[in-house]
Structure 1
Amino acid sequence: METIKGDRQYPMVFKYTLACGEKEQKQERLFSLKEIDEDAGKYVLDENNGVILNTKVINNELQLFI
């Protein structure tokens, strides 16, 4: 998996695309990372398909809670 582009669209929302797979199997997926509380490290990851996941920055890494 690779991040192929990233852009901070406006304050508190980051949009980026991940590429999964290779050649004919390669798929690009658009994600949005929305800041909820920067001081607490709370964000939500929006897969732009109805799936929204709570995330948190812990030890400088974005952790996903499912």
Structure 2
Amino acid sequence: MSATVIQLKSVLTCPNCGYQKEETMPTNACQYFYECENCHEHLKPKTGDCCVYCSYGTVKCPPIQQGNCCC
């Protein structure tokens, strides 16, 4: 049985200005808020998503990658 490799880096894309930044995701909590470094828009998850990485990132958060509920 092979272990799932959890990715800890995700590129967040601001829906307001399109700015992208690679961030390291927390492994022990959801990140519900994120401020865009470029336009200072405050991002929060879309309806049905648990965190900003699941909504705006290139990689889902670690708990979702593991098949668990994030929050």
- Do both proteins adopt the same fold according to a TM-score greater than 0.5, normalized to the shorter chain? no
Higher relative contact order (CA 8 A, sep 6+): 2
Q: Structure 1 length as normaliser, TM-score?
A: 0.27
Q: Structure 2 length as normaliser, TM-score?
A: 0.26
Higher helix share: 2
